[in-house]
Amino acid sequence: MREIIIATKNQGKVKEFESLLKPMGFRVQSLLDYPLSIDVEETGTTFEENAILKAEAIAKAYNRVTIADDSGLMIDHLGGKPGIYSARYAGLDKNDEANMEKVLEELAAVEALEDRSARFACALAYSRPGQMTKTVVGTCEGFIAHEPIGENGFGYDPIFIVRDLHKTMAQLSKEEKNKISHRANALKKLIDVITES
Ligand SMILES: O=c1nc[nH]c2c1ncn2[C@H]1C[C@H](O)[C@@H](COP(=O)(O)OP(=O)(O)OP(=O)(O)O)O1
Ligand SMILES: [Mg+2]
């Protein structure tokens, strides 16, 4: 069975990668299985750069095939913010509630849903020890809701209305989110890249 490390400490991402990759025959581990793992600083200027930094550091540290995910929310009215700063938007402690609150405050004066357009982006970097790292990007289009709705998912899911479904990401089941998410879209592209090589 093919083993893969997902270079993340985010439980929400880990669950999604497990349900996407296990049916394809991968054995999935994450940095949650390595509690003493190094912290990789996200010093890049793009999602792709940050994903590469995380994937290469972990592939090298453990000498294992590694996928890293750097993702976030881009809001048109805010010029693409919070973007690569999504996880630390309201401060360094990575507080999903505080991050959503900050976004809702910044959009408080924007009433029409069509003026609250946004997209999630996910860059995946695939790194094998001693080989060139490969990257892909997936997106998912939507709008920022006026208040959090739904209990599922993680991060900004409760305030992200999926464009074609008219529901927030947090109202979707795991299976529904995994059909349309930026992460699922990126992973589909990555599987193509991996199977080509
Ligand atoms: O499907 C998603 N649904 C809701 N929110 C999401 C999603 N995907 C990314 N996001 C948000 C969460 C976090 O605010 C940021 C990712 O930041 P990002 O640095 O990539 O992840 P992280 O620091 O939580 O974990 P790690 O770096 O260990 O992978 O975007
Ligand atoms: Mg991070």
8 is in an annotated binding site: yes
Q: Identify residues whose C-beta is under 5 A from ligand 2, the ion.
A: 87
Q: Give the H/E segment covering residue 103.
A: helix 96-106
pLDDT tens digits for range 31-43? 999 988 888 999 9
What total number of domains does the chain contain?
1
41 is in an annotated binding site: yes
| Helix, strand, coil percent values for the chain (each to nearest 5) | 45, 25, 30
Ligand 1 atom with the smallest distance to the CA of 68 is: 29
CATH of the domain at 67: 3.90.950.10
Range of the domain at 23: 2-196
29 is in an annotated binding site: no
DSSP 118-144: EEEEEEEEEE-TTS--EEEEEEEEEEE
Average pLDDT, the chain: 96
Say yes or no to pLDDT of 197 above 70.
Answer: no
Q: Measured in angstroms, how far is the CA atom of residue 70 from the centroid of ligand 2?
A: 7
- For residue 25 the two structure tokens come to 């025959």
Say yes or no to pLDDT of 76 above 70.
Answer: yes
Residue of 49, 141, 156, 169 to test ligand 1 pocket, by largest number of atoms within 8 Å of CB: 156
Percent of the chain predicted with pLDDT > 70: 99
- For residue 33 the two structure tokens come to 């299985």
